[in-house]
Amino acid sequence: MAMVAETLEQGVRANGAGEYSLNGRVAVIAGGSGGIGAATARRFAAGGASVVIGYNGNAAKAQELVDSLPNPGAHMAVHLPMEDGAQIDAAARAVADRYGTAHILVNSAGVTKAVPHAQLDDLDDATFDRILATNVRGPFATIRSFAPLLRSGGDSVIINVSSISAATGLGSSIAYCASKAALDTMGKSLARVLGPEIRVISVSPAAVATDFVPGRGREGVERQAASTPLQRVCEPGDVALAIISAVTHLRLTTGSVIEVDGGRHL
């Protein structure tokens, strides 16, 4: 363990300010074909990383994104459904066969359903279970499957895309808020056991201008943004920039939650 830490420290010193270069890195993005995941994929690829686009149901959309990225031939799409542990294992094997290692894992996949918090009877067991399975168990299964590849990278990062709902208890449903709180706590637990080879960081936005929450629309996002100190809508690219920054610059950060919410938590 001491030898690994010394090797990592030597690498940081050799790189001057200690920035984490994306050149030659392999970045796996669960939920990578749209929204925050796709914006993050474009930034990683522009920085020189080979990007693996994990998708659930739309292989064509994932491949279209792969084909649009710079450095053709460096990237790939894999089926990475959050509710299927066996398929997650298969995706990790596919990445190992193609690249032999991995350095960055972004858990951007998630699901929700808009259920008013006071309407307890409308949040049925099946919906609650699906949200927890996708937003909590799925990221854990993905981390479990990819951990050997990330350890082999020797200086790796896991980014869990969370939500300010984890702290405020306000969001599309009580189950969604609970799932993101669980994701943040799980990240702290994993940060303790995966170091020093792997950092674990949650990036926690408020409402983002995507179609993630059915029926919300941009008008709803704009209303939320207007109530924050910065009064700016959070776009997918804003969250992607925070993810990139956490990977490349927050070299001594692990087990932490980085809020990207315009001050909504205040």
Whether residue 99 lies in the annotated active site: no
CA distance 147 to 67: 27
CA distance 112 to 89: 24
From the candidates 20, 55, 99, 176, give the one annotated as an active-site residue: 176
Residue 91, Ramachandran bin (φ over 0: left; ψ between -120 and 50: alpha; else beta): alpha
Task: Name every residue whose Cβ is closer than 8 Å to that of residue 226 and which is 6 or more positions away in sequence.
Answer: none
Interstrand relation of 104-107 and 156-161 (parallel, antiparallel or unpaired): parallel
Q: How many CB atoms lie within 10 A of CB 71?
A: 12
81 cis-preceded (ω within 30 degrees of 0): no
What are the catalytic residues? Answer: 176
